[in-house]
Chains A and B, each alone.
Chain A
Amino acid sequence: MLTDPEFLRRLETLFLLTRKVLGGSMRADRRSMKKGSGLNFADYAEYHAGDDYRHVDWNIYGRLEALVVKLYELEEDVTVHFLLDCSPSMETKFLFARQVVAALAYIALSCHDKVCVHAVADRLTPLLPSAHGRGKVFPMLRALEEAPLVGKDTDLSACASEFQRRVKRPGVCVLVSDFFAPAGYAEAVKRLQWGRHDVFFIQTLDPAEMKCDWKGDVEMECCETGARRKVTITAAEVARYAAAVKEWNDGLQRECARRGVGYVQAFSDAPFDRVVEVILRKGGLVA
């Protein structure tokens, strides 16, 4: 359960750990490339008529008799979009994926970032509209807790297109999925990057999916489409499957590296807070 006290305690502990890892106050947070009325000095600019006299640097004028105004970095909040794979293929690791999303969203909310959660399956479905501040922690956790497995397929490309249409403002986009999408993931990466988002992939996997323990005659059923096929699994098939899974995951990792997308692979048998800690240490996602 995502809203029980024990889980909340672990989130709080994780948040404190985050502060220790990143150092200083978690306040404000994300620096913007825009110049504005922030506190941090950014640059000087030539004075033009109409500029605010309060920003004129009189020391410079005293020494150089030139009127220049100080420019400050614009401090603005960003929106962290969590795209949670809710397709039936996530059944065995869905709790783990929601715990990871909850932890990261908790940290984001605690850092005064906006958080938005979307369900990814054969289409994009909003789970949590834009939320801001720690007061939205419980709505966020409830929304994740009640999130159902939906859809008949995992279509990352379609979901990315939908996300691109809905979200115009660049932000941070975290896609949590097993990435077992028959249509692939490359198109999704492209579309998310076109929206100028900071994209981060968290691949959650069930260790049982990495290898095959079945032997002999098996009627295999796709957990998403319900398609069935009677097959005989021998040692050769087991080896080929293991190789195929490895090749698929390696391809994902290579694609992420090539496109500068953050990537973390997490197994559902690991503690979620440990996974979040690794993500924090790698940086780029929070703060």
Chain B
Amino acid sequence: MTFLLPQFLWALLALAPLAVVYLIKVRPRRRKTSAWFLWQGVFQERRAASWLQKLRDWLSLALMTLAFILLVLALARPVSRNGASAERLVLIVDNSLSMNAADRLAEARRAAMGLARSLPAGGRASVFALGEELVSASGFTASRRELSKGLDAIQGSDAPLNIAALDHFFGPGDTNGTRRVILFSDGCFAGADQLPEGIELVKVGEPGDNVGITAFDVQRIPGADRPLGIFFQVFSSAEKEMEVDAVLTHETADDIRRIFPLILQPGLNEPEILELPNGDAGRWILTLEIDDALERDNVARAVVQEASPVRVAVRAPETRAFWRLCVEAFGEGVSGLMLTDENPALTLYRGEVDAASTERLAVFAPTGASAFWQSVSGEPTEATARVLLPEHPLARYADLDGMVFNGVRDIVPPEQSIVVVETDDGTPLVYKTSSDGSTAYVFNFDPALNHFFLHPLFPVLIWSTAAELMNLEDAPYSMLPAGAVAELPAGFEVGEVSTPDGEVIAFSGGRFGPLERFGFYEVTSGTNRLTVACGGAPVAESGMAATIEVEDVAVVTGGFPLSDWFLAAALLLMALECALYHRRKVG
């Protein structure tokens, strides 16, 4: 037998002073009598029991000492190390989206607590919540109270259950095979039939008809009337066809922009794609008007960001017209380009570079001296390109491999430069370099030669350069699914997020999440503000009717824990001593 809280055993040192106090306390009161001889006659008949009377104080002291020892042992939480007493349970409660349906989470909590209560003597358990991540709610403990607190602390999440999170228990690093892992879930999650071996599933909840929005997207699309493209898809777990109205609102529930009457077939329905002219930027909310098993997946949210094109300046006077065409080719959309000389974020050069350039620049046909190359020399020649980094953003959308470029000169890039494309003979053709806080892409060819201005890859290359330098591709999606991590664009490295529940949390590293709740997240970083929408229920979570078969799970109970037995024995002894004490004090 060992003890979970052995520090309580120090309390046994108090036995000696307590015994002295006890003996002083039970010492009889002294009473004088003038009728001593009469009392002698009274007690003469009871001489037979006098030996018991003499021993009674010591018997009481022994009882109290024993009760105290048992009480201390109970507080020290004795644990038997053999047999069922050593059982350890890992109780995992599914708090994913589908568990928000009628009392499923509460039922799972009750089932887990019931199992915890029936733990054998010395048995310990821990509690985890499983949604997108595995979150510990209570460490291994024999305390039912701690376990109950841990279970009560588990709140429902809108994220889907991520079965991969269970690898924590059955991964290569797991060496403890004595525990039992029990998952309390409705079984409505992707991969329910592929649970790791060794996990016992306790199924909760009853199947129910449910309709949910599995996908929703609102994007700005090209067009004179600033149209919005709207995409959504609905899943129905009902066995029959049903009619539902989908209501599209902007910003608030009262600002209804469109109502779509839907005829839903059982299962995943065909996606709905439509165009909304004169669509405003901001929050868009799609609501299915239906009363079903799971309410949270009847609403989906998306955000259309305000258009904010990148300001691009061109320093190539003789070929400016071509440059303008290239820039304005991507002039629309959230991540478009806008040609301007005022406060440019990106400057395009042809030839020499100004001393006071912007932080981000692209230099074509470099000449003269610059911090962005060590030397450039030789006559312009023609060379064939060879892409060294095919996954680089500049090469992702423009297949430069094998293309012939004119105006290639011998150039020596600065150290630490990243060469993306080079010529057959190893001359750097496109590289990225930095100097004094400025970042530049150097294109060692002249687009004015060989009519590269007119090649469709030229505007693509310009946009790719702008997108890579300005992080345009990191712009948030109009909607992120629950459980995803929100990657924020440049300018949002550190700040605060106000969640749909009103909680304000800090973030850093330009990301936050995973997103636990559906709704709008307001991101603030300095003066920059951004809204991130979270919504869209996976089909497995919206299904609400798991078909996975489970077996009954039970813990072999060994009765009360040892500490409870000790406590009961201590109380019994104290009750006995109280009776004796009462007898001594009131006769």
Which of chain B's residues have a CB closer than 8 A to the CB of A214? 29, 31
- In the complex the two chains form, is A180's CB within 8 Å of B38's CB? yes
**A232-273 contact mask (Cβ, 8 Å, vs B): 1 or 0:** 111101101100110010000000000000000000000000
- In the complex the two chains form, is A220's CB within 8 Å of B31's CB? yes
Which of chain B's residues have a CB closer than 8 A to the CB of A218? 28-31
A interface residues (Cβ-Cβ under 8 A, vs B): 88-92, 178, 180, 182, 206, 209, 214-225, 227-235, 237-238, 240-241, 244-245, 248
B interface residues (Cβ-Cβ under 8 A, vs A): 26, 28-39, 41-43, 53-54, 583-587
Which of chain B's residues have a CB closer than 8 A to the CB of A233? 587
Shortest distance between the CB of A216 and any CB in chain B (Å): 4
- In the complex the two chains form, is A221's CB within 8 Å of B30's CB? yes
Query: Per a CB cutoff under 8 Å, which of A90, A217, A220, A237 touches B33?
Result: A220
Q: How far is the CA of A112 from the CA of B37 in the complex (A)?
A: 41
Query: Per a CB cutoff under 8 Å, which of B26, B34, B43 touches A180?
Result: B34
Q: How far is the CA of A64 from the CA of B51 in the complex (A)?
A: 92
- In the complex the two chains form, is A180's CB within 8 Å of B42's CB? no
Shortest distance between the CB of B209 and any CB in chain A (Å): 75
Q: How far is the CA of A230 from the CA of B41 in the complex (A)?
A: 15
Which of chain A's residues have a CB closer than 8 A to the CB of B37? 180, 182
Which of chain B's residues have a CB closer than 8 A to the CB of A91? 34
Closest to B54 in A: A230
Summarize B's interface: helix, strand, loop or mixed: helix
Q: How far is the CA of A188 from the CA of B133 in the complex (A)?
A: 104
Shortest distance between the CB of B117 and any CB in chain A (Å): 44
Known A219-B30, A220-B31, A229-B43: A235·B587 in contact at CB below 8 Å: yes
Known A232-B583, A233-B587: A180·B35 in contact at CB below 8 Å: yes
Shortest distance between the CB of B560 and any CB in chain A (Å): 36
- In the complex the two chains form, is A221's CB within 8 Å of B32's CB? yes
Q: How far is the CA of A230 from the CA of B50 in the complex (A)?
A: 9
Known A216-B587, A232-B53: A241·B39 in contact at CB below 8 Å: yes
* Listed A/B pairs (17) with beta-carbon separation below 8 Å: A88-B34, A182-B37, A209-B34, A216-B585, A217-B28, A218-B29, A218-B31, A221-B32, A222-B32, A222-B36, A223-B34, A224-B36, A225-B36, A232-B53, A232-B584, A234-B587, A241-B42
Closest to B28 in A: A217
Known A216-B584, A217-B584, A232-B587: A244·B38 in contact at CB below 8 Å: yes
Q: How far is the CA of A89 from the CA of B30 in the complex (A)?
A: 16
- In the complex the two chains form, is A220's CB within 8 Å of B585's CB? no
- In the complex the two chains form, is B29's CB within 8 Å of A219's CB? yes
Known A220-B39, A241-B42, A245-B38: A215·B586 in contact at CB below 8 Å: yes
Shortest distance between the CB of B516 and any CB in chain A (Å): 66
Known A231-B43, A240-B42, A241-B39: A224·B34 in contact at CB below 8 Å: yes
Closest to B43 in A: A231
Which of B31, B36, B54, B584: most chain A Cβ within 10 A? B36
Closest to A234 in B: B587
Closest to B38 in A: A244
- In the complex the two chains form, is B33's CB within 8 Å of A221's CB? yes
Known A215-B585, A216-B585, A218-B28: A223·B42 in contact at CB below 8 Å: no
